[in-house]
Amino acid sequence: MAKKKQLTPAAAFRAVVRAALDHYHEPDWLVANSPLAEAYFLGDRLAADPTDDEARGQALRALLRDAWAHLWPGALPVDRAALWAAADEARRREGNSGAAYAFLLLELRFFRAYYPPTLYPIQTTDIPVFLSVSTTRFFVHLDEAIDRLADLVLHLAQPTLRPERPRPPPALVGPPLKVPEGSVPGGGASDRPYSTMRLRLYSCASAHACWRAFSNSAACMSGVMEASTSALIASIFR
């Protein structure tokens, strides 16, 4: 049986950003499902009541747009024709690895600020044809663009600078899970239930700026901030 690949904090955070992009045009979904829509993560971007769901959804959308805009090298294109011309020129110089191309990919797949949803390319499967790349390469390039965007989202939000802690989840999912004997550094905590460990993760959440995401069959995301590996282990089993 193939060994299941462990999800790293960086990959988990990227998955949360990807889920938010997939539902960028659905602020209600963002508020209900994305940990990025929490007041802790949005910080000063929530000028109004942080419990206002509509404000949180719109603030997250604005954060994603700002991160996307920061990808573009220089002043933003004034219209669709300018975007295409500049991105095409950048691709001639840099290939399909530059920031301008990443900006264009995210525009075509998610934001649709220059290309309305009713304008070709309409379907995701149309985009590789529109860009003259293979479907396989398109998804590789898209993953790279999302990685760039996730880094910028984290840079702009800077959640580790907040003095307060994230709001804990309303309930812990799943039954308590015993930690196998001998698996705990230093010993003495091998019978600590998983639910307690999850709470300890929350207690040290502000130590690092990556979200740990959990998904179910409905692909709903919830998460907590993770510390680096060594600090996280020390915090859990202290």
At 14-72, the pLDDT tens digits run 999 999 999 999 999 999 999 999 988 998 888 767 778 889 999 999 999 999 999 99
Q: Which residues contact 100 (CB under 8 A, 6 or more apart)?
A: 71, 72, 73, 86, 87, 90, 91, 94
The percentage of residues in the chain with a pLDDT greater than 70, rounded to a whole number, is: 64
Residue 157, H or E segment: helix 135-157
As a whole number of angstroms, the distance between CA 184 and CA 226 comes to 18
Rounded to the nearest integer, the mean pLDDT of the chain is: 76
Whether the pTM exceeds 0.85: the reply is: no
The whole-number average pLDDT for the span 192-209 is 34
Max alpha carbon distance in the chain (Å)?
Answer: 65
pLDDT-based confidence at residue 124 (cuts at 50, 70, 90):
very high
Written as one string, the DSSP assignment of 40-84 is HHHGGG--S-TT-HHHHHHHHHHHHHHHHHHHSSSSPPSSHHHHH
Residue 85, H or E segment: helix 80-94
As a whole number of angstroms, the distance between CA 64 and CA 190 comes to 41
pLDDT-based confidence at residue 7 (cuts at 50, 70, 90):
confident
Q: At what angle do helices 9-22 and 53-71 cross, to 10 degrees?
A: 110
Q: Is 212 helix (H, G, I), strand (E, B) or coil?
A: strand
Q: What is the pLDDT of residue 41?
A: 92
As a whole number of angstroms, the distance between CA 210 and CA 219 comes to 19
pLDDT of residue 115 exceeding 80, the answer is yes
Q: Which of 10-19, 97-106, 130-139, 159-168 has the lowest mean pLDDT?
A: 159-168
Residue 151: what residue type? Answer: D
Q: Which residues contact 176 (CB under 8 A, 6 or more apart)?
A: 193, 194, 195, 196
Pairing of strands 210-214, 222-226: antiparallel
Helix, strand, coil tally for the chain in percent (to 5): 55, 5, 40
pLDDT of residue 209 exceeding 60, the answer is no
Q: What is the pLDDT of residue 136?
A: 97
Q: What is the pLDDT of residue 82?
A: 98
Residue 32, H or E segment: helix 27-33
209 or 182, higher pLDDT:
182
Q: Write the pLDDT tens digit of every residue in 73-104.
A: 999 999 999 999 999 999 999 999 999 999 99
Q: Is 224 helix (H, G, I), strand (E, B) or coil?
A: strand
Closest-CA residue to 36 (of 12, 20, 53): 20
Q: What is the pLDDT of residue 203?
A: 35
As a whole number of angstroms, the distance between CA 48 and CA 229 comes to 36
As a whole number of angstroms, the distance between CA 187 and CA 170 comes to 30
pLDDT-based confidence at residue 205 (cuts at 50, 70, 90):
very low
